[in-house]
Amino acid sequence: MAGKASIGVGDPQGKVVAKILIIEARYYEEIGAALMQGAVAELEAHGASYEVISVPGALEIPQVAVLAVGNEMTSLNMLTGERLYDGIIALGCVVRGETSHYDIVCNSANHWLMETVTGCGIPFGNAILTVDTKEQAMARASCERNGKGGDAVRACLRLVEVARKFDEMSAEAMGLDDIDDIDDLDEDLT
């Protein structure tokens, strides 16, 4: 009789072999630099590799996410058939101004990011700060691993672990014991 599988919750455990795409909006340079420093420190602490794409503002982040994972032509390594990235981190900041532009940017950026990552099933960590003042943003950004950049990395890496656990459970349910069995199945299906 099979036991229940437990995936657990919490932060990633130890080293996480993963390649992460960081999409950063540098509209507020100092805030962006602090978010990036915290994110990179956390990625390095877990042994994950990463690539960075910089964009002007928060509204451009979902567009890059779509280009990175939105279709097979841009999201898969053509030699191996594997995804180019195991997860995505979004870093940026939107500071409330005197008009409704803040609401439009916050809502649109977050909506389209979640639409993209849930539709593609890719782990995602969000550190697009939505604040009233630059001072609030700097307090949340922090250059340390415990700032929002580090928080986004921990969320993403934990989701990478969860996704891999689901992949293992699926392979076990299909009676595939190792990667060679999965490769053989892929060849049989093509």
Q: What is the mean pLDDT of each run of 10 residues along the chain (190 residues)?
A: 52 81 95 95 95 95 89 59 87 92 91 89 94 93 85 95 86 68 51
Write down the pLDDT at residue 1.
40
Write down the pLDDT at residue 16.
86
* Domains delineated in the chain: 19-163 (3.40.50.960)
Whether the CA torsion 167, 169, 174, 179 is positive or negative: it is positive
Write down the pLDDT at residue 50.
97
- Is residue 52 within 8 A of residue 22, CB to CB? The reply is yes
Task: Note if 101 is an active site residue.
Answer: yes
The overall pTM is greater than 0.75: yes
- CB within 8 Å of 163: residues ≥ 6 apart: 121, 123
Write down the pLDDT at residue 190.
47
15, 49, 101, 103: which is the annotated catalytic residue?
101
Could you tell me the CA-to-CA distances from 60 to 27, 77, 81, 111, 136 in Å, in that order?
A: 11, 24, 27, 13, 23
